Every structure is written in C-alpha cells, then in structure tokens.
Structure 1
Amino acid sequence: MKLKKIIGRTLLGLLLVIVVLAVIYRDLVGYGWMQLQGQLKVVREAVPLEEFVALPTTTEEQKEKIKIIQEAKQFAFGELGINYSENYSTIFDQEGKPSMFVVTACDPYSFRSHLWNFPVVGRMPYKGYFIREKAIAEYENMKEQGYDAGLRTAGGWSTLGWFQDPVLSNMLNRSEGDLASLIIHELTHGTLFVKDSVTFNENLATFIGDNGAVLFLENKYGKGSEAVTRYQNQLADEITFKQYMLGAAKALDSLYKGMNETPDATKQKLKAELIERIKVNYDTLNFLFERYSGYFSDFTPNNTFFMSMLRYNAQQDVFKKEMDEKFNGNLKAYLEYLKEKYPSV
C-alpha cells in the first residue's frame, strides 16, 4: 500500500507539473497542436510517388519531374553523403495553392531577428503556419509590436525526421536543376542540423543544394552539356542577384550602426532613402534570364527581406573556400567532415 501511495503521489505530481507547464506555455502548446494537425493532414493525404505517376490526371511533364526527384535523391544518398531517408517518396497535392506560410520579424533599425522558442530545435527566426489567416494574424502582430515583418509561402520544408516529408506538388513547377537543388537542400537538413544555428544550417543547405545539383546534372548529362550550362547560367544570375542584395544589406547595416542616437523619424527617413536607392540601382544589373528582372517593380523590401538573404547566403564563400582548401573541391568529403564536426542534435 505504501508503494502504491508513493506511485500515486508521483503521478499526481507529474500531472500537476504538466498542467502548470501547459498553462504557462499555453500559446506554444496551442501552436504546436495546430502545427501537428497541419503536418498530419499533409502526411495523411500524401500518396506514394508511384501512385501519383499512375493517376490519369498526372501530366507527362509532372511524371518527368517525379523521375528527376527520384534520381536526385539516389544521387544525394550515393554520391554526396546525404543520410538515407524515405523523405520525398510521397507527394501532397496542393491543388495549385500554397500549403504553408512563414512569418519573419526583424528590428526596424538593425539586423537583429525576432526569435521564437521551440522545443528540441531551439530558437528560430521564423514561424510556420498551415493556416493562412493565422499567419496573417502573427504577421500583423509583429508589425504592431514595431518590427519589420515578412510573410511568404514555403516552397518546401524539412521536419528533421519527425515525419516523412512529402514532395509538395508545386515543386514540380521548377526547372530540373532548381528542383534537384531544392530536394538536396531539404535532405541536407535531415543530415546535419545544428541547434540554434539557423544561419549556418540554411547557408549549408543552400551550398550543398546548389553545388550538389551541378554535380547531379554533370553525372546525368555530362560536363559541358547544355543542361549543365543552362543551370550554371541560372546560378550565375542568382549569384549576381544575391551578391547585390548582400551588398545592400551591408550598406543598411552600416547605416543602422551609425545612427544609434538619431531620432526614430530621422532613422526612418534615412532608411527609406537608402532602400529607394537600392531599388533604383538594382535596375542597372545585367541578367542572362528574365527571372530577376524588375524584381522590385511591385514591392519595397524591409529588413526581413535582407535578413533572409543573409540567413541563406552570407556564408557561401566561406564554405567554398574551406571545401576547396581542405578537400580539393570534393563536396562529399566536405559534408562528411562537417557531419563529424557538427553532430546533429
């Protein structure tokens, strides 16, 4: 009887702790439950790629893109050192609509992101929603608190092994190289993820994705082939675009650091003037393709836009230099080295 009482009191104590934590973190619990429901809906409704290919409504172009995904996965596992998983072996039909929305927020006069705290993965500078109205409400909430806020759709995401990540049908609208890069990017997250190091994680996934896609196309079509050259030209445009934006972010950062004691009204004026110059000077850039032409014709960027550029691209030269110097440009050897150096949590 005494043992039963001890066990009973222990269970009661644990229950009280759980209740207290649920009350204290009720917003996080509610958000987690909402996200779980959204993720489960995607997982439940996803069908195997083979089943999707067999549907009479699936076009020949979509079938070809599914084949590219399967080929890119096998190349990633066999030639790049990406850890094997069953991710992207199913597909969720978005019916042409976005399935996930991402909110970001940043101080208006510095590149300091607002961070949301999550279990296991730690602090993150973005928050995802499966429900558009919830995302808009959080976006408006961040603006009301005085932040620069951003709201975008997600082209893909990784749950880091918690679920079997599906292909999103909108991914099939991408070009072959872009699609391979995205798949390798997301698989990299499931291979190496450092807690509380979002900038490192995203920069690395971008680096592995872009460089891995080039190797994938070279393996499939041969070096110097039309497909490889076309993708490398697309990457050249992307590099031109990103380098300009990183330079713009640096200019804004210098402005912010030089006006700590400046009144907010003056800060806003100086910031708006510099961003307008960034938009005007952008039109002097030359691109091989139309993808980046007129980029700012219908919107004005704020700090969340430039923070995103830094988060995904600021360390590309660092990774390339280290890979070339230590591993003679061998991407697989470099990734294996990083996996040992940064064991995933």
Structure 2
Amino acid sequence: MKRVFRLLAALVLASGVAGCTSISYYAQSLEGHVEIMAARRNVGKLIGDPSTPKALRAKLTSAAAIRRFATDELALPDNSSYRSYVDIGRDNVTYAVFAAPQFSLAPVTWCFPVFGCVPYRGYFSRKSAIESAAELQRRGLDVYVSGVTAYSTLGWFSDPLLSTMLRHDDTYIASLVFHELAHQKIYVNNDSAFNEAFAVSVETSGTRKWLRATGNRAGLRRYEANRKRGADFLALIAKTREELQQVYGSPRSPEQMAAAKDAAFDRLRMRYRQLRDKRWAGYRGYDAWFDSPINNAKLAATAVYGEQVPAFLRLYDLCSGDYPRFYASVRRIAALPATSRAEALKSAATCN
C-alpha cells in the first residue's frame, strides 16, 4: 500500500499519554519526524546547484512543475509542502501496521489527539513495525505490515518530497503529490475510508488532467490501463469480503470458520490467476500481493483505499470537473454525521 503515515508529533507527546509502550511509540514518531524535517533541502536550490546529479535534477524539475500544477489547476493548497527534498536512504519512509480480529473484517483502530482514529499504527523503523505486528499476533489478531513511500503531516509542517517518491516515473510522482495535498485540503477525523477515497479521487482525476495537459498520451494510456487493473483487483477483494462476511456471520464453530476462511483465500488466489492470465494477458504486477500471506487485516487495509472512490469520482463529474465546487460539495458531505456520510456521497445527484 503506497499511501500516508499521519504524524503524531510534539502535540501528542504533550497530551499526557499513559504507559511506557505509548510513550515509546510517540517518541519514535517524533524522532523520525524531526530527522526528516532537519534534512530538508530546497528543491529550487538543488535544481540550480551544478553538483546535483543530473538524474536527480531532472526528477526534481518535474516534481516542481507537478507541484505548481497542483495549486494552479487542481486548487490544492499553495504552501511549502513538497517544495523541499530529503534523501532518506531506505526503501520506505514508514511502515503501517494493520490488524483485524481472526473472524472479522473490521480493522482495529488507534486514536490519537488532533488526527483522530485511524486503522493502523505507523513506524519509522521496520524492526519496530515487525515487533508491533508480532505482539498483535500474540493477541490472536490478523496483522499486515505495509511499507509507505510518502509522508504527510496534513499540512501541520512543510512536508518534503522524499527519495522514495522519486523512484518511479513522473506519473507516480504526480499521483503521490496530488494525493497527499488532497489530505491537506479536506480531512475528517475518525473516517479513514472517506479520507483515503477522497484523496484517491483527487489523485486520479488530477493525474489524468496533468497527463492531458502535458500531452503525454502514451502515459495516459498506461495510467488508464493501470487504473482498470486496479479496479479489477478491488472487485476481486470485494467478492472475497462478501464471502467472508457470510462466513463470519454464520453460527459455525471456530474450526469450521477457520477452514471456510482459508478456502475463501484459496478461491481469491485462483480468481486472480485467471484474471492475470486471461484478461490481463499475463500482467504480473499484483503477484507479490497474492504471493504473500492474505488475512483479514490485509483485506481491511485494501478496502480503506478503494471502496468509496467511484462515488467521489462520480461527484467530481457532477461538478463538471470544477475542483473548487467539488471540494465545497465534499465538505458539505463531510460535515454530516458519520452514520449518514457514506450514503449521502453514494446517493448525491447534484453538485451542491
């Protein structure tokens, strides 16, 4: 999963959290954040510095243009975020730990001051993330650990571009920058599914607009093909989630439920292989996801990012691609009680 680790910085440490484990967790969050913030270097100065490697200069030049596009064309925040750069020297900036009960698809949530409740805990150290996952497993929970390439403090600090964000092509950079800035535009405490789906909708519509504006027709075709495969993947996950919900809601014994759960995951893998080898003509980009263990936590993490995206994109179309109108409409829905928010989004008939 490529998406955001929400910083719990000094304000959290000052909130009087009890327990050594909690204090240790917040301390590593603050330490990791301070390390990144202290290493920031201005993108404009790096581009103009003749000692900057040519490949990095090209990436930063593209990223700077993407950052301007985000403000000028997508009405995203015009601030100092993603106008500095940090080489973090590792594959992921953070690691997100997800958990869910053995027989439930509802993710475990952790609640923090300012940022609300989220369905994961983030760690700057892979070792710490693995240790946390092991402890959750000992409590009988399904767990899933995912590396994260982008970093966001929701605008509380000037978030930098990271070396992890520049490893791929410009389309990837654009999608990350648009996604993370969308979180700064609108963020609803305690509703990760709403927040992530909104950010993905801005990422998707914005990347399409950017590719068209730059005349990158080949890139747009690749992007749309990737989006279609992503939709197919989420449909597979949704079908398995439906099967498991029936299993978990049945009066079966724990042993019977565990066997039915394993059978559902076997069917998921079989359906994926059929999809990959036929409709996708052998595209293997999701093999790693299916080759590693699958459990409730992994399905829950995937659902957070995908389930409400179609409804947001439909609302964007209802707003005729006008970002200020779209954001205003999303804010009105976000202000509704949590129990009616998703339905209001799904049933929206106008951009109002």
Interval of TM-score (by shorter of Structure 1 and Structure 2): 0.7 to 0.9
TM-score by length of 2: 0.83
TM-aligned CA deviation for residue 122 of structure 1? 1.4
Aligned positions, number: 318
Q: 2:93, 2:164 within 8 Å by CA — same for their partners in 1? A: no
Q: What TM-score do you get using the length of structure 1 for normalisation?
A: 0.85
Which residue, out of 220, 236, 241, partners 1:249? 241
Pairing 1:58–2:50 present: no
Correspondence 1:80-229 to 2 at 5 A? 80-221=74-215, 225-229=217-221
Contact kept? 1:233, 1:288, Cα under 8 Å = no
Deviates more, 1:248-257 or 1:144-153: 248-257
Matched, 1:299 2:292: yes
State whether residues 205 and 313 of structure 2, in contact with CA within 8 Å, keep that contact through their aligned partners in structure 1: no
Unaligned runs of 5+ in 1: 1-20
Q: Say if 2:263 is the partner of 1:273.
A: yes
Distance 2:191 2:18 in 1: 26
In 1: Cα distance, 2:81 partner to 2:307 partner: 28
Worse-matched range after superposition: 236-245 or 116-125? 236-245
Cα distance change, pair 67–282 in 1 and its aligned pair in 2 (3 A): same
CA drift at 1:29: 3.2
State the shift of 1:191 in Å.
Answer: 1.0
Aligned to 1:29: 23
Cα deviation digits, residues 35-80 of structure 1 (max 9, x gap): 11110001101222234443646242x3332222222221111111
Paired amino acid for 1:305? K
Unaligned runs of 5+ in 2: 1-14, 336-352
Tell me if the contact between 2:93 and 2:150 (Cα under 8 Å) persists in the aligned partners: no
Counterpart of 1:239 in structure 2 is 231
Instruction: Extract structure 1 runs of 4+ deviating beyond 6 A.
Output: none
How far, CA to CA, are the matches of 2:282 and 2:169 in structure 1? 13
In the TM superposition, what are the counterparts of 1:14-25 in structure 2 within 5 Å?
22=16, 24-25=18-19
From the CA coordinates, give the structure whose radius of gyration is larger. 1
SS at match of 1:143: helix
What is residue 349 of structure 2 aligned with on the other side?
Answer: none
> What's the offset of the Cα at 1:318?
1.4
